[in-house]
């Protein structure tokens, strides 16, 4: 439930207009709520005539994801958002091939234990099974829509790559496409626009590897992996986009930092974690 204090300057607004224009609700979000003005249930088409307190309650929505207890590394949590550090080798969400023991199963279990009810895990971002790091989960549809439309979410990854990158920064803007049923994405003119900025953090001449920071400006599937491989610097352990036998158990890619505008405070929140131990040891 959310509460909003109606001010004099909002008189004359329809409640739906107030929620859209002032509180950043989406059209879909408005279809999934009940509203109460000074304790009385009202329609969203009603006009605001006086100052008061508006309460917005989301209608309950269930999920068919089975709750399974798994350890969660919680980095941040409040009433709207949960951010976890996903371990490698864990699928984010059930798929046709993987229907249990995913991060989503663990989140459903955690919400059920904490709130005593079934809640939908609304993932803002997802990570490949072998990619570790920060994942943002919205606890309600308003937060999910706010992050998508107004959150200005910034995502940063650390990647260990083959080769020594001489440049301090590489700006990659190349379209990415999927061809047929092939899992591999390719750089093709007819693909979707994709932008990644790669910064060099540390070079290891002896091992012929470079530690990089990759900032995503778009969110295409396998984007960092495709872009780095196309530049000639495949990620260590990436069996799909690299062709080297490097004796690494997983792709050395880690979502280490995110920042976003918080839907309740409207202030920017930044979260940062360290690399996973396997990446530290290899570097």
Q: Which of 113, 30, 120 is nearest to 68 (CA)?
A: 113
Which is it for the CA torsion 59, 65, 68, 69, positive or negative? negative
Q: Residue 13 phi/psi, 5° resolution?
A: -70, 145
Report residue 137 as tokens. Answer: 């989960």
How far is Cα 159 from Cα 133, in angstroms, rounded to an integer? 12
List C-alpha distances in Å: 165 to 51, 231, 275: 60, 10, 20
Q: Is 128 a catalytic residue?
A: yes
Asked if residue 106 lies in contact with residue 121, where contact means CB atoms within 8 angstroms, the answer is no
Q: Considering 80, 128, 130, 238, which one is annotated as catalytic?
A: 128
Per DSSP, the three-state class of 224 is helix
Per DSSP, the three-state class of 78 is coil
Which is it for the CA torsion 104, 183, 220, 208, positive or negative? positive
Asked if residue 252 lies in contact with residue 242, where contact means CB atoms within 8 angstroms, the answer is no
Tell me the pairing of strands 154-162 and 209-216. antiparallel
Residues classed as catalytic: 128
């Amino acid at each position: 439930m959310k509460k909003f204090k109606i001010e004099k300057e909002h008189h004359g607004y329809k409640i739906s207009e107030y929620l859209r224009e002032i509180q950043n609700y989406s059209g879909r979000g408005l279809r999934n709520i009940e509203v109460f003005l000074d304790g009385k249930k009202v329609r969203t088409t009603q006009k605001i005539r006086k100052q008061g307190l508006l309460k917005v309650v989301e209608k309950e929505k269930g999920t068919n994801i089975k709750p399974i207890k798994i350890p969660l590394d919680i980095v941040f949590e409040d009433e709207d958002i949960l951010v976890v550090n996903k371990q490698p080798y864990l699928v984010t969400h059930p798929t046709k091939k993987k229907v249990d023991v995913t991060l989503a199963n663990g989140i459903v279990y955690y919400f059920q234990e904490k709130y005593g009810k079934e809640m939908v895990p609304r993932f803002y971002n997802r990570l490949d099974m072998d990619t570790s790091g920060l994942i943002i989960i919205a606890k309600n549809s308003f937060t999910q829509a706010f992050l998508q439309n107004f959150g200005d979410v910034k995502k940063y990854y650390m990647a260990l790559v083959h080769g020594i990158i001489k440049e301090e920064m590489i700006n990659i803007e190349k379209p990415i496409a999927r061809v047929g049923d092939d899992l591999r994405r390719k750089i093709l003119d007819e693909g979707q626009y994709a932008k990644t900025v790669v910064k060099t953090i540390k070079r290891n001449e002896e091992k012929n590897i470079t530690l990089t920071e990759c900032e995503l400006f778009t969110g295409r599937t396998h984007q960092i992996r495709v872009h780095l491989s196309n530049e000639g610097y495949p990620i260590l352990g990436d069996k799909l986009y690299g062709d080297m036998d490097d004796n690494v158990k997983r792709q050395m890619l880690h979502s280490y930092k995110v920042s976003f505008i918080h839907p309740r405070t409207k202030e920017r929140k930044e979260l940062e974690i360290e690399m996973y131990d396997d990446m530290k040891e290899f570097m």
